[in-house]
């Protein structure tokens, strides 16, 4: 086995990009994430690398699985909503272990879309209208038309009444 390379800082990457660091490519570091924080676990390839007992965690944010002490595919996610206090404590223990043993090399980009805050015309009205709208594609069109047409602002005014 080749000697370990020094950890490379990746910055912010998507969960999809993280999958490329699952240990299947020996030229890339072996990475996994807890609570959105990515750690280089290459030094523990025998555990997290292909064939290892925890290989399914590699290349993923395994927060939920670690918190629940689960090896189920459905738990291999960074979504920790709905976990109980015992599970959150277990996750915290894992996080402390990783922080003390491995180098943090990046973060997983949040998958929450950021299109709403970028709106420049009356974001509070357009946000409530977007939530109520059944067809988001029409709302997207009306936002673009707002620059060229007086119809969209009058519709917003009508919504207020």
Taking the CB of residue 8, how many other CB atoms lie within 10 A of it?
Answer: 12
Confidence of residue 117 (pLDDT cuts 50, 70, 90): very low
- Contact present, 64 and 75 (Cβ < 8 Å): yes
Which whole-number Å values give the CA distances from 48 to 10, 116, 155, in the listed order?
19, 38, 56
pLDDT tens digit string along 42-83?
A: 999 999 999 999 999 999 999 999 999 999 999 999 999 999
Confidence of residue 136 (pLDDT cuts 50, 70, 90): very low
Domains (range + CATH), the chain:
11-108 (3.10.120.10), 116-160 (no CATH)
What percent of the chain has a predicted confidence (pLDDT) above 70? Answer: 67
Higher-confidence position of 22 and 159:
22
Which whole-number Å values give the CA distances from 57 to 12, 67, 79, 156, in the listed order?
19, 12, 14, 48
Q: Is pTM, for the whole model, over 0.85?
A: no
Q: What is the mean pLDDT of residues 136-150?
A: 43
């Amino acid at each position: 086995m080749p000697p370990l390379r020094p950890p490379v800082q990746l910055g912010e990457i998507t969960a999809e990009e993280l999958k490329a660091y699952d240990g299947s490519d020996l030229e890339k570091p072996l990475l996994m994430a807890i609570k959105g924080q990515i750690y280089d676990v290459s030094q523990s390839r025998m555990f997290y690398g292909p064939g290892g007992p925890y290989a399914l965690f590699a290349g993923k944010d395994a927060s939920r699985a670690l918190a629940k002490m689960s090896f189920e595919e459905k738990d291999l996610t960074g979504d920790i909503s709905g976990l109980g206090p015992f599970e959150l404590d277990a996750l915290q223990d894992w996080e402390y272990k990783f922080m003390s043993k491995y180098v943090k090399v990046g973060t997983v980009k949040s998958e929450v879309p950021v299109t709403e805050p970028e709106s420049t015309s009356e974001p509070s009205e357009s946000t409530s209208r977007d939530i109520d709208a059944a067809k988001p594609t029409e709302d997207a069109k009306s936002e673009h038309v707002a620059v060229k047409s007086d119809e969209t602002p009058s519709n917003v005014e009508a919504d207020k009444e």
